[in-house]
Amino acid sequence: MDILRQLDAGRGEYYRHGNSGALLQAAGEWLEQAGLQVMRGPANFNVQEEAGVLCDGFEHQPMVGMGYTPSYYRDLLEAVGLRKAKDLLVYREEAYMAQMDRMAALALRRDGVAVRPVDVANLGKESQFFSTVWEQAWRDNWGMVPISAKEFEEAYQRYGFFIVPELALLVEVDGKPAGCALVMPDMNELLKRMNGRVLPTGWWHLLTGRSGIDRYRCFFGGVVPEYRRLGLPVILLSRLQKEFLRRGAQTLEFSWVLETNEEIIGIASRIGAKRVQTLRLYERDLAAEERRDASRPG
């Protein structure tokens, strides 16, 4: 982190002297020695957490759990040979999504479809529900990392203060896990008011300010493949919209969305959401570099 702060503070000097290149080269060599073949990132442990270098939309304040990088990070990475791996897209929409109720009413005609909020009193069971849907709904997605029930439960222990049960929805079809969605209020609004400090008055904003938040982020939403023709995403959005209206929400963000996820991009387009940011993951083929080095004479 100290190196990154120095890079931010002295962009020109560090860029000219190639210190960022030396840092990335050392990281690549360490990974290669560990037997890895590709260096990819940036990502905070995995791509489901903060990930990517911001390529556009710098005027937009990031929502909770989303990364924000200076514009020159992209140049630094590309200057030392890293290339695009995937783009992660950020969409935003006014919280009232026209035509959701009508579309959801049609979808709900199918018998056996039930939507309910998460039951925090049965956290172990609900964590298993999320894990089951996650594994099946995202198994074919690029960069997908399985998340166990225990990891979901631990995540709730960390973020439970910010989670609103009515915005953590589970869908069952004939009593079986079929889909889920997790939306959280943008706690960055509160952190900004607190100026990053709990004392002397920050704690008061933290305890009393949640009801005044009008920006929300959809962390994830997914449907098990065998139920994808039932219109479950629309049902989830319609249910969420009712809660947004009750809370006076103004903005809903979908982030992030993989650039190849045509289904979600299509849904975002139909409800009028606009792409506001692009985050890019970079990579370097370490195995190819090793082969080139081995083929050089001498």
Least confident of 9-23, 48-62, 77-91: 9-23
Query: What is the structure's pLDDT at 292?
Result: 59
Query: What is the structure's pLDDT at 140?
Result: 86
CA distances from 191 to 138, 161, 207, 226 (A): 31, 14, 12, 41
**pLDDT tens digits, residue range 228-268?**
888 888 888 888 888 888 888 899 999 999 999 998 898 88
Say how far apart CA 270 and CA 10 lie, in whole Å: 44
**pLDDT value at 276 more than 60:** yes
Query: What is the structure's pLDDT at 4?
Result: 45
Query: What is the structure's pLDDT at 18?
Result: 67
Beta strand ranges found along 153-250 (DSSP E): 168-173, 176-185, 215-223
**pLDDT value at 125 more than 90:** yes
CATH T-level topology, domain 96-249? Aminopeptidase (3.40.630)
Query: What is the structure's pLDDT at 293?
Result: 58
CA distances from 270 to 89, 97, 100, 107 (A): 16, 9, 10, 16
Confidence band of 14 (pLDDT split at 50, 70, 90): very low
State how beta strands 168-173 and 176-185 pair: antiparallel
Q: Could you tell me how many residues make up the chain? A: 298
How many C-alpha atoms does 180 have within 13 Å on its Cβ side? Answer: 24
Confidence band of 212 (pLDDT split at 50, 70, 90): confident
Burial of 183 (0-12, 13-18, 19+ CB in 10 A): buried
Percentage of the chain lying above the pLDDT 90 cut: 45
Confidence band of 122 (pLDDT split at 50, 70, 90): very high
**pLDDT value at 104 more than 70:** no
| Residue 197 three-state SS | coil
**pLDDT value at 17 more than 80:** no
Query: What is the structure's pLDDT at 127?
Result: 95
Give the residue-averaged pLDDT of 135-151.
Answer: 89
Average model confidence (pLDDT) across the chain: 84
Say how far apart CA 205 and CA 200 lie, in whole Å: 11
Query: What is the structure's pLDDT at 269?
Result: 86
Query: What is the structure's pLDDT at 92?
Result: 95
Give me the residue spans of the domains in the chain: 2-87+281-295, 96-249
Least confident of 10-19, 150-159, 161-170, 186-195: 10-19
b/e map 225-249, b = 16+ CB within 10 Å: eebeebbbbbbbbbbbbebbeebeb
Query: What is the structure's pLDDT at 45?
Result: 75
